[in-house]
Chains A and B, each alone.
Chain A
Amino acid sequence: MKILVCMSVVPDTTTQIRFKPDMNSLETSGIQWIINPWDELALTRALEIREQPDSGVTQVSVIHIGLKDADPVIQKALAVGADSAYRVNVAAAGAMEVACQLSEVVKKEHFDLVIAGHDSADYNGSAVGEMLAELLDWISFSSICSLAAAKDSITIEREMDTRTETIIAHPPCVITIQKGIAKDPRIPSLRGIMGARSKPLLQLEPIPCAGSAAFVKFENPAQRSKCRMIDPAKPEELVELLRNEANV
């Protein structure tokens, strides 16, 4: 089984988000870029599975749709153990364009299982995995919190709105994962870091893909009103306030 992990590159989650003065795009100066945390968990789990003797996983690759400045972050994925990486060299405007570029690579390189994080910490589209599945006409599963692989099937746990299902699925398929799939992302070993340079990071040219949704401007959240402090000895005061002033 060949696994492809989709990876977006996002500002470190501790970053204060600022926009350029025209409010049309993110102010990127001073931002530290990281692998989207959910995608990193997806990669972690994919690597764990490959290391199990009977998993039948022969390859774990990562893919990013974006420009060259993401390469150092992609290198980290190689340093922690991905076998190879693809980068489609285009600044995609939305989820549809990303899914379209992905589908081309998945078809050409014959991947069996595509894993994506259920959300991306930047524009929170959470749509790429399902769009990709639809474009490929593959089955897909979202909100996955556990994944195991056997020779030609995977066992997954899916958290739906009111229930948790255990599913055995036969790839090809796309799954989007949430927290719980793996504990902590891996720290690359020094040997892994040095070895990453000799692993393939293939830059691919984009195919024509049209999307019809794009961000045109941004806005900072409004200042919240000041916190009203309540005497710890008078909890009933808080209860009154919640009932009368906050209508709850």
Chain B
Amino acid sequence: MNFELTEEQKMIQQAARDYANRELILDVLERDANSIYPAKHVKALADLGFMGMMVDPKYNGSGMDTISYVLAMEELSKVDSSVSVIVSVNNSLVCYGLEEFGTEEQKEKYLKPLARGEIIGAFLLSEPEAGSDATSQHTLAEDKGDYYLVNGTKNWITNGNSASVYILMAQTHPELKSKGINALIVDRHSPGITLGPHEDKMGMRSSDTHSVMFTDVKVPKENRIGPDGFGFKLAMKTLEGGRLGIASQALGIASGAYERALKYSKERKAFGTEIFHHQSVAFKLAEMYTRIECGRLLCFHAAWLKDNHQPYGVASAMAKYHCAETAMWVTTEAVQIHGGYGYVKEYHVERLMREAKLTQIYEGTSEIQKLIISRDIFSH
């Protein structure tokens, strides 16, 4: 056991922290208020190597371990989760599957520009009638010999408009249920793709979320990832890593709110002393800190398992469940510590609270995480 970060990991953490505190913070309120996509930040983070963090350098990635990814996601999310979710989707949901299961040609053509961050990707799984229950995919990918013909609708697609490449889950053999699903690489600008309106969200308002409609979209056969019917397995493997990205995001939201509350409690005075000295506040901060540390260790553990090629699906489910719940609780209490100031945008904690809510919902709700965990503990 070793709890010490390496010098490189500390430097990566600091680089992400510097970027967040120097750049993201400047326009985060404006982007949140007006739902402005953070194009320049995505480009800058790509130049710094954050868009393909764990991809092998031979495919233009940064070749980092998963611990570094957790650290970077936490630091970015302390300030702006609209940006960190774009990072998470590109790294965990798009690059991962292509690198792990794609052919050399697919990696050459798609993974390289994605890992460099020249283009970004989106992951299309959820449907109007298939959210948590991902096995019942209604989007069809009919086998037409040398291409698939795709029809259907996908919902809640992060990067729906800004992505150039989609990783799409669609049903080819409905009778085989989940074993009939395929994962296809789809060019976002293929004929027959239309987007629903930009979703007007409660939080993470600066990322672009859309529904995506497919009408007779032709996808070449060579764009299928893995063998026929591999899609559901790919989705499940991918989501194990995705959960860890969102767990680290929730961790960042929680620690960002905690740090702000701590600072505020040392400056703000009430009844003749800094409010930090009031036990009701001090104990709350102690509890926040403890819960956040628990979350951080869960994230590190899951990342360590992944880096050591051990099963980490349950570990990442626990990390995501705990961190999302912690983020919601900590942000709510951070607003409370700030009092009236917490309820206005200038102090950031109300935004973090809105962002926290989504971490309990997307990439597997807290309930789904508990399902994964409970199934695992009953299986032994």
Q: How large is the interface on A (under 10, 10 to 19, 20 to 34, 35 or more residues)?
A: 10 to 19
Knowing A193-B15, A194-B63 are in contact, say whether A187-B48 is a contact too (CB < 8 A): yes
A218 to B22, CA, bound (A): 34
B22–A194 CB distance below 8 A: no
Residues of B within 8 A of A (CB): 7-8, 10-12, 14-15, 18-19, 22, 47-50, 53, 57, 62-64, 68
C-alpha spacing A187/B23, complex, angstroms: 11
B63 to chain A, nearest CB (A): 7
Residues in A lying within 8 Å of B, measured CB to CB: 72, 75-76, 79, 184, 187-191, 193-194, 196-197
Given contacts A72-B7, A75-B7, contact A187 B22 (CB under 8 A): yes
Contact A197 B8 (CB under 8 A): yes
Contacts of B47 in A (CB 8 A): 189
Q: Are B11 and A193 in contact (CB under 8 A)?
A: yes
How far is the CB of B12 from the nearest CB of chain A, in Å? 6
A189: B residues at CB distance < 8 A: 15, 47-49
Q: Is the CB of B50 within 8 A of A190?
A: yes
Give the one of B14, B50, B68 with max A CB within 10 A: B14
> What separation, in Å, do the CA atoms of A205 and B367 have in the docked complex?
61
Chain A residues near B7 (CB-CB < 8 A): 72, 75
What residues of chain B lie closer than 8 Å to A184, measured between beta carbons? Answer: 22
> Considering residues B12, B48, B63, which has the most beta carbons from chain A within 10 angstroms of its beta carbon?
B48
A72-B10, A75-B11, A79-B11 known; A190-B49 Cβ under 8 A: yes
**Majority SS at the chain A contact face:** helix
- Closest-CB distance, A11 to chain B (whole angstroms): 15
Q: How far is the CA of A183 from the CA of B375 in the complex (A)?
A: 55
Question: Could you say which of A75, A187, A191 contacts B18, with CB atoms under 8 Å apart?
Answer: A187
Assess whether B22 is in contact with A190, with CB atoms less than 8 Å apart. no
Neighbour of B49 across the interface among A75, A191, A197, CB < 8 A: A191
**Closest approach, in angstroms, between the C-beta of B101 and any C-beta of chain A?**
24
Complex CA–CA separation, A191 to B22 (angstroms): 20
Beta-carbon contact of B15 and A191 below 8 Å: no
Shortest distance in angstroms between B376's beta carbon and chain A's nearest beta carbon?
A: 33
With a cutoff of 8 Å between Cβ atoms, the chain B residues found around residue A72 in the complex are 7, 10-11
Are the CB atoms of A190 and B10 closer together than 8 Å?
A: no
Chain B residues, CB < 8 A from A187: 15, 18-19, 22, 48
Point out the residues of chain B lying under 8 angstroms from A193, CB to CB: 8, 11-12, 15
What's the Cα separation between A187 and B47 when bound, in Å? 11
Residues of A within 8 A of B10 (CB): 72
Q: Decide yes or no: A190 and B64 within 8 Å by CB, A75-B7, A75-B11, A76-B11 being known contacts.
A: yes
Residues on A with C-beta less than 8 A from B19 are 187
Chain B residue at minimum C-beta to C-beta distance from A188: B15
Contact B11 A191 (CB under 8 A): no
Q: Distance (Å) between the CB of B370 and the closest chain A CB?
A: 35
Which chain A residue lies CB-closest to B7?
A72
CA separation between A244 and B11, bound complex, in Å?
A: 54
Closest approach, in angstroms, between the C-beta of B364 and any C-beta of chain A? Answer: 28
Q: Cα distance A197–B62 when bound, in Å?
A: 14
Bound Cα distance from A83 to B18, whole angstroms: 22
Specify the chain B residue showing the minimal Cβ separation from A190: B49
Which residues on A sit within 8 Å (CB–CB) of B22? Answer: 184, 187
A233 to B353, CA, bound (A): 39
A76 to B11, CA, bound (A): 7
A187 to B8, CA, bound (A): 14
Among A184, A187, A188, residue most surrounded by chain B Cβ atoms (within 10 Å): A187
Closest residue on chain A to residue B14 by CB atoms:
A76
* CB-defined contacts of B68 to chain A, threshold 8 Å: 190
